[in-house]
Structure 1
Amino acid sequence: MRIAFATLGCKVNQYETENLTELFLRDGFDVVEPQEEADVYVVNSCTVTSSGDKKSRQLLRRLKKQNPAAKIALTGCFPQAFPDAAGQIPEADIITGSYNRKGLLQAVKKALATGERVIDITPHHRKEAFEEMSVRGLRGRTRAFMKIEDGCERYCSYCIIPTARGPIRSKPLEDIRTELMSLVENGYKEVVLVGINLSSYGKDLGLRLIDAVKLACSVEGLQRVRLGSLEPELLSDKDLAQMAELPHFCPQFHLSLQSGCDKTLKAMNRHYDCAEYRRIVNKIREVFQNPSITTDIMVGFPGETEEDFVESMAFAQEIGLAKTHVFAYSRREGTAAANRTDQVPKPVKEERSRRMIEATNRTRDAFLGSQIGKVEEVLLETTRDHLGYEGFTKNYTPIAVDCDDALCGSIIKVKITAVLGDRCVGVLI
């Protein structure tokens, strides 16, 4: 029996797809690529934006057209948040949510055995535990992602994720250690700890994120520990000081900004202001050597005026971000912001996106330029082009290095000599 997986959305979704892949492999399924012929296709969905739902629908239609006889499964955040809408999609023969991932296997087997449509979406509840799952690695990737937290209780006014993902749940420390040791045994030198609200790790266990970071950095053979996206105000000065003392910790901080305007941050129900964000960034740069700050910025939030936007853009330039994901606000049914009457017109959002991208590209160029002349350790990927193999430094600067094929997957010392486009170029030391 052949099965194919297609993943939309975040690194947590990618991790969960790998977990599902291994689950089906153990049950005797053969895993193939989505473009190949299969008996079952699984779409692991994202519902952060309405365009995410649209992508899921389009993918389901394409897969059904590609192989009408196959069973098509829709799983993940979209059906969990909007079960009625998901249930009305005719191409979906099997529908499960983001909770009880392991239940997908039985749902698929039932649909194959009976030919019936199967809908099994388990509701989240306040006292649910972290769902036990692990992976041996991510196929085709030099670094592994490891999910250590699920759920969010922040209730930002634009975000449906608390509905889609439920309350905060954390992976126990011993389970983290066991999985990390397995990843090291499978040859991984770098692991990225990820979660839906990673900064809240441990809230349900009487622990904190720093506990997981310290444990990960103590695992023998693991040479790099990196963090996924973080809520900035949940990083204390003490946490940062302890992280700075860990040799294997990577000083790249993806601090979710969303807006550089205090008025907009308050309307978004974010839990910090620009002054606090600035203080945290300054503290990171004080205690770490050559760190990078990356972020997400939304433009066109309801009520955002031209003055608010200019203020946000100026703040982003002041911070000197190493890389920024800029995106326009998307109205999300079921959130407080969707009900506001002061929605920003689409052409205005598109124009602001262009300007914000131009501004943050300049800070990106400045950051890359500041790396010239430095000698850094680079984890080489398996992707090669005319400049050589690409790799990443501890602060996640992309470097192209001309070197021997045998060094792929290795950590090597490189002197950064130039900037070319959106990456640096270096020579092997």
Structure 2
Amino acid sequence: MRVAVHTLGCKLNYAESSTIAREFARRGYEVVPSSSEADIYVVNTCSVTEHSDKKDRNLIRRLHRRSPGALIAVVGCYAQLRGEEISALDGVDIVLGARSKGLVVDEVERLLAAGGRGKAPQRVEICDIDSVDNIFPAYSTGERTRAFLKIQDGCDYKCSYCTVPYARGGSRSLPTALLLEQAREIAASGIVEIVLTGVNTGDYGRKTGESFLSLLQDLNAVEGIDRYRISSIEPNLLTPEIVEWIASGTKFLPHFHIPLQSGCDRILSRMGRRYRTEDFRRKIELIRSHIDHVFFGIDVIVGFPGETEEDFRATYDFLEEIRPAFIHVFPYSRRRGTPAAGMPDQVPEHVKTSRVEILEEMCGRLHAEFCRENSGRTEEVLFESKSKDGKMAGYTRNYIKVEMPYDKALIGKVVKVVLP
């Protein structure tokens, strides 16, 4: 039977979907691209915004229209948060929440053994999120050059706007020994770069007696992996010890993705964030004092309840001051069940849209400035793919995209390039 796995949302979902697909293949199923027709569809959902929920529903409906006789299994954050909504959609056979997503292949086979779509009863398994203490190990292998390795799941922070703790549960970590084994498996497949991913990566090991820094040091010794990136890390968990160790000459690259969310202390307080702008500024300065040509990607939410023009201007000015290489801008999305959803002074949508556009303009300007600052430097580029215009594309250590004439022999190789 043909299986297609569809992934919406983050790289953590991508790692989990890749692992689900490998398990189907191991059991003898034909795994086909997500664009193909299939007998079984697995949809790994995202629920970070209301727009994400809508995309989930639209995809499920589209798959059912395309293949009315196909079995559809839905997992992921939207499945945990709104399982009853999903189960009411035409064509959905299986809905699995946070505890059970790693069992999706078993559940599919159980339903097939009971007669398949239309003959076996629908399976809906949604748990009390506070009871989730297991963790689904996962890593991606879909790309020739880069893998996403899940090290941690869940979050204990419960920021006032965020549904993730309600969708994925509290913070849990995978054992270092297992992660080292998986990193060696990735290396054996020929992949040379690993991105460590999780919901709150820097919280790794807090409940198990292991530590994030020790994990980084152990992974650094894995033969065959030349480059590591950290997908995202909270500023309060990126410690001076970690920064100094990375700067000492390791496989971890000068590329940090750090969520700021707001450059206004009043809004940070309302969000329930665990730092203020001065803490964030000092962390950026610390990293730059130890690591040259470092790339900072910064997350920012605009239009949070109560954000005035003065508050937004404070964020704008703060970003101008710290000058990240990239800004990931998100309009605030009102999420049912979160404290922020009930806050007064909700910001109109047209104001959010305007603020997004302003910061996206800033992002383009700051990214171009970062690239100019690196012009003329010799950098190592890992070429990954063929671009639409027939060139090959890859990224420097500090995450500048480079394109060159396509050369098949260089795909998956680290090449020294003088940046234009």
Shorter-chain TM-score: which interval?
over 0.9
The yes-or-no answer on 1:121 pairing with 2:126 is yes
TM-aligned CA deviation for residue 370 of structure 1: 0.7
Structure 2 portions without partners, runs of 5+:
none
* SS at 2:177 equivalent: helix
Aligned pairs for 1:157-306 within 5 A:
157-306=160-309
Once residues 416 and 117 of structure 1 are traced to their aligned partners in structure 2, the CA distance between those partners, rounded to angstroms, is 56
Q: What one-letter code is carried by the residue in structure 2 that aligns with 1:118?
A: R
The normalised TM-score by structure 1 is: 0.93
Find the counterpart in structure 1 of residue 381 from structure 2: 378
Once residues 310 and 154 of structure 1 are traced to their aligned partners in structure 2, the CA distance between those partners, rounded to angstroms, is 27
4+ residue segments displaced more than 4 Å:
none
User: In the TM superposition, what is the alpha-carbon distance from 1:82 to its structure 2 partner?
Assistant: 2.4
* Correspondence list, 1:28-427, <5 A: 28-112=28-112, 113-114=114-115, 115=119, 116-125=121-130, 128-131=133-136, 133-135=137-139, 137-386=140-389, 388-402=391-405, 404-417=407-420
CA distance in 2, matches of 1:228, 1:105: 27
- CA deviations 1:277-318 (Å, max 9, x no partner) are 010000000111211111111110000001111110111121
- Label 1:141 to 1:45 Cα distance change in 2 as closer, same or farther (>3 A): farther
Shift of residue 157 of structure 1? 0.3
Structural RMSD (CA): 1.5
Extract unaligned runs of 5+ from structure 1.
418-429
In structure 1, what is the Cα distance between the partners aligned to 2:341 and 2:176? 38
Structure 1 residue 126, shift from structure 2 partner: 5.3
| Contact 1:387-1:401 within 8 A present in 2 as well | no
1:15 equivalenced with 2:15 (yes/no):
yes
**Is residue 159–residue 273 contact of structure 2 (8 Å, CA) maintained in 1?**
yes
Aligned residue identity for 1:120: E
Letter in 2 for 1:47: S
Contact 2:132–2:169 at 8 Å: present in 1 too?
Answer: no
Q: What's the offset of the Cα at 1:46?
A: 0.5
CA distance in 1, matches of 2:301, 2:395: 26
The answer (yes or no) to whether the contact 2:57–2:86 under 8 Å persists in 1 is: no
Q: Which residue of the partner structure matches residue 427 of structure 1?
A: none
Q: Residue 73 of structure 2: SS of its match in structure 1?
A: strand
1:71 is matched by which residue type in structure 2?
A: L
SS in 2 for 1:257: strand
Whether contact under 8 Å (1:126, 1:167) holds in the other structure is: no
Structure 1 Cα separation of the partners of residues 266 and 88 of structure 2: 39
Which SS does the other structure have where 1:187 is aligned? coil
Tell me, yes or no, if the aligned pair for 2:329 and 2:359 is still in contact at 8 Å: yes
Aligned pair count reads: 415
- TM-score, normalization: structure 2? 0.95
Q: Residue 97 of structure 2 aligns to which amino acid in structure 1?
A: G
- Percentage of identical aligned residues: 38
Per mean C-alpha deviation after superposition, the further-off stretch among 97-106 and 388-397 is 97-106
Amino acid at match of 1:85: E
Tell me if the contact between 1:12 and 1:195 (Cα under 8 Å) persists in the aligned partners. Answer: yes
| Distance apart, 1:235 and its partner CA | 1.4
Shift of 1:90: 3.0
- Find the counterpart in structure 2 of residue 424 from structure 1: none
Q: Which amino acid aligns with 2:21?
A: T
How far the C-alpha of 1:141 sits from its partner, in A, is: 4.3
Q: In 2, Cα distance between the equivalents of 1:286 and 1:247?
A: 17
Partner amino acid, structure 1, of 2:143: G
Deviation at residue 31 of structure 1 after TM alignment = 0.8
Look up the SS of the partner of 1:28 in the other structure: coil
1:210–1:243 contact (8 Å) kept in structure 2:
no
Letter in 2 for 1:59: L
Distance 1:73 1:403 in 2: 39
Residue identity matched to 1:84: E
Task: Give 1:386 shift.
Answer: 4.4
d(CA) in 1 for partners of 2:407, 2:5: 33
